[in-house]
Copies of this chain bind each other. A is one copy, B any other.
Amino acid sequence: MISHIEWCKDSLRLLDQRRLPDGIEFMECRTPEATASAIRDMVVRGAPAIGITAAYGVALAAFGPNVSDGEALLAEVKAAAKVLEQARPTAVNLAWAVRRMAAKARQVAKGGASADVLRRALCLEAIAIHEEDIAACRAIGRNGLLLVPEGGRVLTHCNAGALATGGYGTALGVVRAAHEAGRVKMVYADETRPYLQGARLTAWELSQDDIPVTVLCDDMAASLMAKGFVDVVIVGADRIAANGDTANKIGTYGLAVLARHHGIPFLVAAPASTFDMALPTGAGIPIESRAAEEVAVIAGRRVVPGGVAVLHLAFDVTPASLISAIVTERGVISPVTGENVARVLGQAK
């Protein structure tokens, strides 16, 4: 598949996901501010992907005209971290990646290295975050593939795929690994209003990889389950609390309730960087509000009468009790309890 986050020595090239599936266009970011705007405006989205993008955004700070030594670098990195962390609130990977980059900057700045060495160190750290994420996705795929039954029909929501990560995907990483093992009969992709990531992105990347995919409207998923067409639901995550409560794209919680009603396993797939062990439960997860216009106007047509109120919830929280298992690169957490989360993650984050 296309490389959608690409580091080009001193700039960042992002596939503009808003234009998919009909347009393949790239945006070049040369500053942390431009990178933060790209994240805010959803040029790039998906919790791991915005973490990686933000890491490169911090690296771009090192290429500023004022970076002559370690002290100047730290000032630029601090400013970059601030603007990037504010770009979107719910996915914890963003803050995680920015903090890791800032720690690296502090470490290398201490040594009195030249500006070139500093730049190189930050680029390498961002590239490491990117490569580690791809490796984590592949491990998630390996760890999760046996949870997809032979001939499995998988329902997914939003896009937790290659486009949402460094590559390969989390939920779609499990799908890809299961497909490679010959276990996937069909992937049902909720279109996922209001941004239609399922219709536009999941369908696009799966069809590129010749994995069978069928798109449906979000309000059709319950019927599909009732007809016995869904063997397992697999979704990604934007932030997971220490007890396993999971914030993800709006609509995820409803699917979890429906899966429980129909006796269908409900899986979350996410790397360790998506866990926020500082939050005991999902109640503390900040949920982003976005503009009403993003619901009220579709493809340039206003579908809600002017003056009518519109609710735009961007994420929801699924309680751990509705999640059959969380698949991470370090292993499978099941049943989903605080104890098992800590055990599998090894408190290592």
List residues of A whose CB falls within 8 A of some B CB.
21-22, 157, 188, 190-194, 196, 199-200, 203-204, 207, 212-224, 226, 250-251, 253-254, 257-258, 260-261, 295-296, 298-305, 307-313, 316
Given A21-B305, A215-B304, A215-B308, A257-B261 contact (CB < 8 Å): yes
Q: Which residues of B contact A312 (CB under 8 A)?
A: 216-217, 220
Establish whether residues B200 and A226, one from each chain, have CB atoms under 8 Å apart when the complex forms: no
Which single member of B204, B207, B295 contacts A216 (CB below 8 Å)?
B295
Given A251-B219, A299-B298, A299-B300, A311-B224 contact (CB < 8 Å): yes
Establish whether residues B220 and A311, one from each chain, have CB atoms under 8 Å apart when the complex forms: yes
Establish whether residues B218 and A303, one from each chain, have CB atoms under 8 Å apart when the complex forms: no
A313 CA to B217 CA, complexed, in Å: 9
Establish whether residues B257 and A213, one from each chain, have CB atoms under 8 Å apart when the complex forms: no
A260 CA to B258 CA, complexed, in Å: 11
Q: Which residues of B contact A308 (CB under 8 A)?
A: 203-204, 207, 213-215
How many identical chains are in the complex?
2
Q: Which residues of B contact A310 (CB under 8 A)?
A: 214-216
Establish whether residues A21 and B215, one from each chain, have CB atoms under 8 Å apart when the complex forms: no
Establish whether residues A222 and B254, one from each chain, have CB atoms under 8 Å apart when the complex forms: yes
* In the complex, residue of chain B having the shortest beta-carbon distance to the beta carbon of A322: B261
Establish whether residues B258 and A254, one from each chain, have CB atoms under 8 Å apart when the complex forms: yes
Establish whether residues A309 and B21, one from each chain, have CB atoms under 8 Å apart when the complex forms: no
Establish whether residues B215 and A295, one from each chain, have CB atoms under 8 Å apart when the complex forms: yes
Establish whether residues B217 and A194, one from each chain, have CB atoms under 8 Å apart when the complex forms: yes
Which single member of B192, B196, B199, B311 contacts A215 (CB below 8 Å)?
B311
10 contacting pairs across A/B (C-beta < 8 A): A21-B305, A196-B298, A207-B307, A217-B312, A219-B254, A222-B316, A224-B313, A254-B254, A257-B261, A258-B258
Establish whether residues B21 and A304, one from each chain, have CB atoms under 8 Å apart when the complex forms: yes
Smallest distance from the beta carbon of A213 to chain B beta carbons, Å? 6
Given A215-B304, A299-B301, A308-B203, A313-B220 contact (CB < 8 Å): yes
Q: Which residues of B contact A190 (CB under 8 A)?
A: 219
* In the complex, residue of chain B having the shortest beta-carbon distance to the beta carbon of A192: B219
A197 CA to B224 CA, complexed, in Å: 21
Establish whether residues A188 and B311, one from each chain, have CB atoms under 8 Å apart when the complex forms: yes
A204 CA to B309 CA, complexed, in Å: 11
A199 CA to B305 CA, complexed, in Å: 8
Smallest distance from the beta carbon of A88 to chain B beta carbons, Å? 18
A87 CA to B22 CA, complexed, in Å: 34
Q: Which residues of B contact A217 (CB under 8 A)?
A: 193-194, 218, 250-251, 295, 312
Establish whether residues B305 and A220, one from each chain, have CB atoms under 8 Å apart when the complex forms: no
Which 5 pairs show the lowest CB-CB distances between chains A and B? A219-B251, A222-B254, A299-B301, A299-B299, A193-B217
* In the complex, residue of chain B having the shortest beta-carbon distance to the beta carbon of A157: B219
Q: Which residues of B contact A218 (CB under 8 A)?
A: 193, 217-219
A316 CA to B226 CA, complexed, in Å: 10
Smallest distance from the beta carbon of A26 to chain B beta carbons, Å? 19
A215 CA to B194 CA, complexed, in Å: 12
Smallest distance from the beta carbon of A151 to chain B beta carbons, Å? 17
Smallest distance from the beta carbon of A205 to chain B beta carbons, Å? 9
* In the complex, residue of chain B having the shortest beta-carbon distance to the beta carbon of A208: B305
